[in-house]
């Protein structure tokens, strides 16, 4: 048994023993037989780990006091609403089941994010999970869904405009007749959405009633994701794919709505334009899509065009000078409760401009790998790159023989390793490249594509690091019809462009 699991088990046994002694002190007249029955029952409950999973998942739904909570969306919304309204939301979970794990995990104090102002108004929410299965029977068989209904009991801050009965009805409306399941191996995401919807409805209710929100705006939480728009104007679009691209400064991670956000890239030709689709994803009912605006980080507004969907906008970004990078932000502006103008960033992307480029590609089959025809590959590559004003001239060389013991120097498993720090190639890739260089001429202004007749490790089937000169594609894993598309994507990393 893992030492952490063993320590947790010992702790649980000690807690169970302490609980039992406390009950003995309060029931000193009970006989020894009752004491043994209670001890036996509690020990049995201790090993009902499926109920333990339920209790822990219920706890995590309201665990908004911890920065690492799985329910980061609710935590961020509580903080945002508190800043606007001056009202601190406090949550407490409880399971209506007299069980050891319920006693241990649920029914503690109210939880809320740090940072509440001293003396601020409070709205408390006791969230009760009621088992819909027969609690008098033994733990349900494995694989049986243990469903729970949810009821929220709120207490509102002192305000004459808020009727407690109406407030409770509004808070429970989204979860009425909703059954949550914490069955084994089930993702807790749907349960979070259900519970969060009740708390968000409470925020909406208060926002519509409380006078103190008259000088502020409830802005809510959301994320905007960017993707390619019109194919004919989109040069390149990509996000982080390989570990070796980390540390290049190319892919930027930022935190938005409490989550890690990977900044995507787009490319556009000099003098041209790129169309980008912005998808607005509200995380609560307080964020409205029509309040989202766009701009460059230099402060220049970016005009967006509406679509049939209220949550989708189309942006047109003009190309700048060669290799100039623009950052485009999606944001909302609002006035907080003190009357100050504030902004919240919901997403961002980067756009880079390129001049016309002419490129030489040398394709090198290894051993028995089959290469496509030069004219066919050249035509397909140029079709892919035509909107970038980049062109390719392709040369197919004769097959290069290389024995496995000449390149498979690390794990000797017949698979090509790709893991390397920074911008480097793996040791096995360098062996192949150096073998080629010893047999044939390498020119600095050309790019080299090695077609292998052996696989690449893990789930990858091709590889070229950022600003690399040579790429690898496994013909064992990439069909001849797919090869031009894969080659175009890998060659896209030669100068920060992606396909």
How confident is the model at residue 41, as a pLDDT? Answer: 65
Instruction: Judge contact between 466 and 493, C-beta under 8 A.
Output: yes
Q: Is the pLDDT of residue 245 over 50?
A: no
Domain positions in the chain? 1-35, 48-214, 222-354, 357-494
Q: How many CB atoms lie within 10 A of CB 70?
A: 15
Report the top-level CATH class of 357-494.
Answer: alpha beta
Packing angle between helix 189-209 and helix 164-172, nearest 10 degrees?
A: 150
Tell me the β-bridge partners of 318. 273
Return all residues near 8 (Cβ < 8 A) that are at least 6 apart: none
How confident is the model at residue 181, as a pLDDT? Answer: 85
pLDDT band at 37 (very low <50, low <70, confident <90, very high): low
Q: What is the mean predicted confidence (pLDDT) over 76-80? A: 87
Residue in 390, 302, 317 with CA at minimum distance from that of residue 354: 390
- Could you tell me the CA-to-CA distances from 157 to 49, 77, 164, 206, 218 in Å, in that order? 39, 18, 10, 10, 17
Q: Phi and psi at residue 65, in whole multiples of 5°?
A: -85, -15
Residue 38 CA to residue 19 CA, distance in Å, equals 10
| Sign of the four-CA dihedral 221, 195, 111, 46 | negative
Residue 79 CA to residue 275 CA, distance in Å, equals 35
Return the exposure string of 44-62: e unless at least 16 CB atoms fall within 10 Å of the residue's CB, then b. Answer: ebbebebbbbbbbbbbbbb
pLDDT band at 349 (very low <50, low <70, confident <90, very high): very high
Residue 180 CA to residue 252 CA, distance in Å, equals 37
Structure-token match 């992606």, residue found: 498
Q: Phi and psi at residue 347, in whole multiples of 5°?
A: 175, 165
Q: What is the pLDDT of residues 356-401, one digit of tens each?
A: 788 999 999 999 999 999 999 999 888 877 756 678 999 999 999 9
Q: Is the pLDDT of residue 243 over 50?
A: no
What is the architecture, at CATH level 2, of domain 222-354?
Answer: Sandwich (2.60)
- Collapsed DSSP state (helix, strand, coil) of residue 477: coil
Q: Are strands 341-354 and 325-335 parallel, antiparallel or unpaired?
A: antiparallel
Q: What is the mean predicted confidence (pLDDT) over 289-299? A: 91
How confident is the model at residue 85, as a pLDDT? Answer: 75
Q: Which of 142-151, 152-161, 240-249 has the lowest mean pLDDT?
A: 240-249
Return all residues near 423 (Cβ < 8 A) that are at least 6 apart: 244, 247, 248, 465, 466, 467, 468
Q: Phi and psi at residue 216, in whole multiples of 5°?
A: -130, 175
Higher pLDDT, 23 or 415: 415
The two structure tokens encoding residue 121: 């108004």
User: Element (H or E) spanning 180, and its range?
Assistant: strand 179-181
Q: What is the pLDDT of residues 246-288, one digit of tens each?
A: 444 455 678 887 777 888 888 888 888 889 999 999 877 778 8
Residue 288 CA to residue 217 CA, distance in Å, equals 12
How confident is the model at residue 495, as a pLDDT? Answer: 43
How confident is the model at residue 446, as a pLDDT? Answer: 92
Q: How many CB atoms lie within 10 A of CB 467?
A: 12
Residue 224 CA to residue 68 CA, distance in Å, equals 22
Q: Is the pLDDT of residue 237 over 90?
A: no
Instruction: Judge contact between 252 and 263, C-beta under 8 A.
Output: yes
pLDDT band at 242 (very low <50, low <70, confident <90, very high): very low
Residue 274 CA to residue 232 CA, distance in Å, equals 9
How confident is the model at residue 173, as a pLDDT? Answer: 93
How confident is the model at residue 312, as a pLDDT? Answer: 95
Q: Phi and psi at residue 352, in whole multiples of 5°?
A: -120, 140
Residue 448 CA to residue 374 CA, distance in Å, equals 13
User: Element (H or E) spanning 168, and its range?
Assistant: helix 164-172
Q: Is the pLDDT of residue 351 over 50?
A: yes
Count of alpha carbons within 13 angstroms of residue 13, beta-carbon side: 8
Instruction: Judge contact between 436 and 364, C-beta under 8 A.
Output: yes
- Could you tell me the CA-to-CA distances from 145 to 54, 86, 131, 190, 448 in Å, in that order? 11, 40, 11, 15, 56
């Amino acid at each position: 048994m893992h030492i952490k699991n063993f320590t947790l088990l010992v702790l649980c046994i000690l807690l169970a023993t302490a609980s039992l002694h406390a009950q003995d002190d309060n029931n000193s007249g009970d006989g020894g037989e009752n004491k043994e029955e209670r001890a036996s029952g509690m020990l049995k409950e201790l090993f009902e780990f499926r109920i333990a999973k339920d209790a822990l998942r219920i706890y995590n739904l309201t665990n908004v006091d911890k920065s690492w909570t799985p329910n980061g969306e609710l935590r961020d919304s509580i903080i945002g609403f508190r800043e606007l309204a001056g009202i601190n939301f406090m949550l407490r979970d409880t399971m209506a089941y007299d069980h050891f794990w319920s006693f241990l995990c649920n029914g503690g104090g109210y939880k809320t994010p740090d940072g509440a102002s001293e003396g601020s108004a409070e709205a408390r929410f006791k969230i009760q999970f009621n088992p819909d299965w027969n609690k008098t029977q033994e733990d349900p068989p494995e694989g049986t869904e243990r469903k729970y209904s949810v009821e929220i009991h709120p207490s509102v801050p002192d305000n004459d405009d808020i009727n407690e009965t109406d407030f409770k009805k509004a808070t429970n409306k989204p979860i009425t007749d909703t059954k949550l399941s914490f069955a084994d191996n089930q993702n807790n995401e749907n349960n979070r959405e259900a519970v969060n919807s009740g708390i968000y409805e409470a925020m909406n209710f208060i926002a519509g009633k409380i006078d103190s929100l008259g000088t502020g705006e409830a802005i809510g939480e959301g994320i905007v994701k960017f993707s390619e728009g019109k194919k004919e104007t989109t040069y390149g679009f990509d996000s982080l794919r390989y570990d070796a691209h980390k540390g290049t400064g190319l892919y930027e991670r930022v935190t938005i709505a409490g989550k890690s956000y990977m900044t995507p890239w787009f490319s556009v030709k000099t003098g041209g334009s790129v169309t980008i689709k912005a998808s607005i994803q509200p995380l609560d009912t307080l964020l409205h899509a029509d309040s989202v605006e766009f701009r460059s980080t230099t402060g220049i507004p970016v005009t967006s065009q509406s679509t049939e969907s209220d949550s989708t906008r189309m942006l047109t970004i003009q190309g700048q000078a060669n290799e100039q990078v623009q950052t485009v932000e999606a944001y909302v502006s609002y006035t907080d409760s003190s009357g100050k103008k504030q902004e919240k960033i919901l997403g961002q992307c980067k756009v880079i401009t390129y001049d016309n480029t002419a490129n030489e590609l040398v394709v090198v089959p290894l051993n028995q790998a089959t290469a496509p025809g030069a004219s066919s590959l050249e035509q397909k590559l140029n079709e892919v790159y035509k909107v970038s004003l980049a062109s390719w001239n392709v040369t197919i060389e004769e097959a290069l023989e290389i024995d496995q013991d000449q390149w498979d120097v690390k794990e000797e498993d017949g698979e090509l390793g790709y893991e390397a720090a920074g911008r480097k190639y793996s040791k096995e890739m360098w062996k192949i490249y150096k073998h080629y260089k010893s047999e044939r001429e390498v020119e600095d202004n050309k790019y080299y594509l090695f077609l292998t007749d052996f696989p690449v490790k893990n789930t990858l089937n091709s590889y070229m690091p950022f600003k690399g000169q040579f790429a690898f594609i496994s013909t064992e894993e990439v069909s001849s019809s797919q090869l031009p598309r894969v080659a175009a994507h890998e060659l896209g990393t030669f100068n920060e462009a992606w396909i």
